[in-house]
Chains A and B, each alone.
Chain A
C-alpha cells in the first residue's frame, strides 16, 4: 500500500506536468483500478519531458514488483496455488491490464508498444522466477549488462528505449541514441539494482570465473589518469603512496585491544604450574607483552610453538 501511495504521488506530479488530464477518482474503485484509469487518461503529447517517461517506466516496474510482493505477502494457500498456476502461464492478467493501459496512452503504434511492454514484463518475470527457484547466479549477466551500458552507449537499453521511444523533438524526428543513453542507463541501473536486491543470497559464493570476469571488465574500463591528482589517487589505492596524515599503525592494527597483548597468562593453561618450564614461559610472556611489533596472532603462535616443542620432549624430560 505504501508503494501504491508513492506511485499515486508520482502520478499526480506527472499529471501536473501534462496539461490534458482528466482524473476521475471513483470512491468505490480499488487503488489499482484508479491507477490504471489515471494512466489510461494521461495523453502523451509532443512536448513531454524525459522525467515523465522515467516515472512511467518506474511505475511499470514498481507495479510489477508490487504484484510480485503482493502475491508473496498473501499467505493463503489459494493465493499460493494461483501463483503456482500463474508461473506456468507467461504473465499475470493484472500486469497485462496495466501494460494495455500504458500502451493506450501512447500516441501511435499502440499494439507494438503493448507487445514490447509485455515482452519486457515477461523477461522480468522470468529472471525473478529463476532467482526465486535458486537458479544460476546472475552476476555475470548483470555485470555484462552494466558493462555494456557503460562502454557503448547502452546497446541493449537503447534498443528497448528506442522501441518505446516517444517523439521528443517538436519537428517529429526520432530520438538519437546519444540522448536516450542517459535514460536507458537510468532504467538499466534501476533494473540492475532490482535484480541485485533479489539475488542477495546467491552472491555469497561467486565462482572464480565470475571474479575473473569482473577483473577483466575493471581492467578494460579503467582510463589512464587525467592529471596528477588522479595518479596520486591510483597510487594510494595500490598502496604505493601512504595516506596522509600519516597513520603510524597503518597495516598493523588488527583491531585487538591492549589487554589481549599484555595479559597472555590465559594461554599458559596447558603448561605445568610448577617447575622450570613454567618459569621460562612466564619470562617469555613478559617479553611478548612488551613487544609492540608483533600482532596478537603472532604472539599466540609463538606460545603454541613452545607448547608443541615441550610436548614432543616430554618423555625426554621425564627421564631427567
Chain B
C-alpha cells in the first residue's frame, strides 16, 4: 500500500516537473478516496455500457453472463459505490454536509468567524 501510494505520488511529481510542487493530502484514507474517484471517472463509460447489456430482457442470458464476468474483472476501485464523501479539510468520514464538503466541526468554525458567505446563526 505504501509502495503504490509512493508510486502515485511519484507519478504526480513527475508530471509537475520542472517546477516541483508538493501537495499533501490530509491522510492516506483521503488519498485512497482520491484514487477511487479518478478510476471511477476513467471507467465510467465502460461500466455504463456493460451494465446496459446486463440489465436487459432482450439480449440472451449467456451474453449477459459474459458481461457479468467482464464487469467483475474491472479494477475494484473503478466502481463509484466505493467513493465516500469525506470532509475536504479534515478527511472526517462522518458528519459531512454535501453542499460545502466540510465536516460539521470545520463548518461551525468558519461560520462563527464569518468566513462562510450567506451563513448566519439561526434564531427564530
Contact = CB atoms under 8 A, between A and B. Distances in A.
A313 B49 contact: no
A309 B49 CA distance: 10
B60 A305 contact: no
Looking at chain A, what size class is its interface with the partner chain? 10 to 19
Interface residues of B, number: 12
B63 interface: yes
A306 interface: yes
B62 to A, nearest CB: 6
Interface stretch (A84-92, A104-112, A276-284): A276-284
A280 B62 contact: no
Contacts of A302: 45, 49
Nearest to B49: A305
A208 interface: no
Contact of A276 (B49, B52, B60): B60
A252 interface: no
B49 A280 contact: no
A306 B59 contact: no
B49 A316 contact: no
Interface of B: 45-46, 49, 52-53, 56, 58-60, 62-63, 66
Contact of B58 (A276, A306, A309, A316): A276
Which 10 pairs show the lowest CB-CB distances between chains A and B?
A276-B58, A280-B58, A279-B58, A276-B59, A320-B60, A280-B59, A320-B62, A305-B49, A313-B63, A280-B56
Contact of A277 (B45, B46, B59, B62): B59
Interface string A134-151: 000000000000000000
A306 B56 contact: no
A47 B53 CA distance: 88
B58 A317 contact: no
Contacts of A277: 59
